[in-house]
Chains A and B, each alone.
Chain A
């Protein structure tokens, strides 16, 4: 069923990217360099993970699965931090982003593997690694957006937060509107893609399974499962970020303490 791609097939697509790079260079659109670097990165990174998965599948061992999950979560944690306009202080920033990814992706994947998919063994890398990767990739976007909105807005509106504190509101009341906005910012992408799925867009995983020869209805069921897991994971992840950051942002006397969380230019 599966039509194997040859290097020649891939190079046809690569020529398109090269053409685009050439055109944008001629038009001085300043994107050619970035585009080519990204294209090379995606080729190398995906080939590497392909080799890694190949050896994982032939050598099923829970330690290897734990090892690769740790690497994936850490890299996603750094990625969230690098998308923040307000730079967080070292370990706190890393702890908040990886902690929320742990809740959003790791625990949700664990639940899905143990109770829904029930592969044998339950940690079989053929299911565990792609599932975790898909959840990480999608919840990462939501968490990064929610966190950025929370930090940006509360920094910009620090005078308003303090005004509300001055009027005797608790720290959580003073930041409540900003928390709502951040939750919205984090959840909107997945809510939109759930709403558009099937009508406007055919989600990538489902398409992939269909291309690989799976029956469409089976592929659809997997896609629905993934969508639910992603939306729940993103929501729990953003909520953890909101909780961790809004507690770190204030001290026990309900004072606004940006210096504990952010690198502030003097």
Chain B
């Protein structure tokens, strides 16, 4: 690791200990630990993320950003280890792992006819925060815009109460106002639930708004920037 990068990392970690002293009394174990993660042409990747922290990742298309999220969620074969709250993915059933390590893909998929069939219970508080009225659960999927689908996909994901959010260019289809609302809902969730997030985005302004640390994925390595 280069010297300025190391300094930046140290400064960043001091900043986080100061910002979230309640989550780290004494020795601070990270919420999410990625050790020697390798997949296809990428890796090994090491990364630690604390509770209530959001990490920004950018990189050219084809650099393996989506594959990184898929590997963390154990959707693809990979080398190395991912640990959440001191429990490794291998020690947990894959469906249980994906409930706490949740991917929001760039294009959300809907397979039933109405919105409500995709939800197990009502999420009224967040529904209104995301700008939906309470009758949205009766909506048919075919009349939804891509932006509405994306906001509801976030809601559906948060239904599982995940500990780690893996967001793959989640606001690419949203206008500016809705993007800001989306960011706010994610941030509120992270703070209230001591969860953490990896946010993949091309938009460096957005990453400045939402991420405490920012990495560039290039040539299969994560570099702080």
Contact = CB atoms under 8 A, between A and B. Distances in A.
Contacts, number: 51
A168 interface: yes
Given A160-B109, A160-B111, A163-B105, A168 B95 contact: yes
Contacts of A162: 75, 105, 109
Contact of A253 (B94, B99, B102, B103): B94
A255 B77 CA distance: 8
Interface in B47-83: 73-77
A165 interface: yes
A87 interface: no
Given A160-B109, A160-B111, A254 B94 contact: yes
B151 interface: no
Task: Give the secondary structure class of B's interface.
Answer: loop
Given A165-B75, A167-B157, A255 B95 contact: no
Query: In which size bucket is the chain A interface?
Result: 10 to 19
Interface in A147-182: 157, 159-160, 162-170, 177
Contacts of A251: 77
A165 B98 contact: yes
A254 B95 contact: yes
> How big is chain B's contact interface, by range?
20 to 34
Nearest to B118: A167
Interface in A61-81: none
Which residue of A157, A169, A254 has the most chain B CB atoms within 10 A of its CB atom? A254
B107 A169 contact: no
A170 B160 CA distance: 14
B98 A168 contact: yes
Interface of B: 73-77, 93-96, 98-99, 102-103, 105, 107-109, 111, 156-157, 160
Interface of A: 157, 159-160, 162-170, 177, 251, 253-256
20 contacts: A159-B107, A159-B109, A160-B109, A160-B111, A162-B109, A163-B111, A165-B98, A166-B75, A166-B98, A166-B102, A167-B157, A168-B95, A168-B96, A168-B160, A177-B111, A254-B94, A254-B95, A255-B74, A255-B75, A256-B75
